[in-house]
Amino acid sequence: MTTITLGAAINAGLRRAMNEDPRVLVMGEDVGRLGGVFRVTAGLREEFGAERVVDTPLAESGIVGTAIGLALRGYRPVCEIQFDGFIYPAFDQIVSQLAKTRARSGGAVTLPVVIRVPFGGGIGAVEHHSESNEALFAHTAGLRVVACADPADAAGLIRRAVACDDPVLFYEPKRRYWDKGEVDITMDLGDLPAMDRARVVRQGTDCTLVAYGPTVRTALEASAAAQEDGVSVQVLDLRSLSPLDVDTLYRCAKATGRMVVVHEASTFLGMGAEIAAAVTEECFHALKCPVLRVGAYNMPYPPSRVEEEFLPDVNRVLDVVDRALGY
């Protein structure tokens, strides 16, 4: 076990995947010489060379389109989108080609492409640098969408994503890149947690907080604060947004009878809406109150000086937990 940041954990996971499979390559804007804008790919070009760590032009559609071509020739490309809001020029390539090719070919053609997306706010960035667009891709059949929350899970989850034969959108919480935790990078791939399974990161009996990516830490802090008032709050890290681990969601909802979903994206048509609908349909008689949601407001991302008022924090989460307990 070694203590490293979340960014370094993804780097370690990529390095392990590249060492184990020569077909894996990394590509994106400034991923080589610079090591990525967040330095997540630092050192990989020096170790694996410019042919496997490729600095691309500033053209997201071209990056993903080239990755599709490489995957058709047997490679396993890992693309970096510098910031979440930069992914839109590649939207057609992702939803019309990457997501559809396996079905279009009757399963004969696979496209094992990973698209790494730093997402969420909290770093004081300018416009188009703090989006939470995961629901757009979770809605698209044919794509897997996952989000890491801490260093230990990030290192294994990126290896699982690279090994997957389906295209994977890999969301990385940019405000958590510098969070530290213990990581075991020596684990064999088969011993790592499955990519499509949620995990309970804190036990509780009165209410379940469901979170992913940057809000897992927020939920854990809210749970700790609630414990001081005698309220036992369970925290569930979704990890996989598509497919959803509904079995674990249902089990947690039935165990506590109350569920609150927390994400940085707008609550309108967000992941929380789908979770609320699915849990209500399956667990209606076990619920003590409606499934509630905490998220950003339904508006364009605001200037950085007010982003902390826009994003859900511990106090907003606790307010909604209080609402759930009051039913």
List the catalytic residues. Answer: 129
Count CB-CB contacts under 10 A for residue 250.
16
Q: Buried b / exposed e across 292-326, counting CB within 10 Å, b at 16+? A: bbbbbeeeebbebeebeebbbebebbbebbeebee
The Cα 294–Cα 263 span in angstroms is 7
Contacts of 44 (CB under 8 A, 6+ apart): 11, 14, 15, 18, 26, 31, 32, 35, 52, 53
CA dihedral of residues 70, 22, 178, 147 (deg, nearest 10): 50
User: Cis ω on the peptide bond leading into residue 243 (within 30° of 0)?
Assistant: yes
Q: How many residues does the chain have?
A: 327
Bridge partners (DSSP) of residue 293 are 261
For residue 308, the one-letter residue type is: E
Do residues 312 and 215 touch, judged by C-beta distance below 8 A? yes
Residue owning tokens 């496997």: 52
Residue (of 46, 13, 23) closest to 186 by Cα position? 13
- Both tokens of residue 230? 């005698």
Q: What is the DSSP letter of 117?
A: E
- CA of residue 293 relative to chain centroid, distance: 18
User: Cis ω on the peptide bond leading into residue 290 (within 30° of 0)?
Assistant: no
Do residues 81 and 116 touch, judged by C-beta distance below 8 A? yes
Residue (of 170, 183, 129, 186) closest to 6 by Cα position? 183
Bridge partners (DSSP) of residue 235 are 202, 209
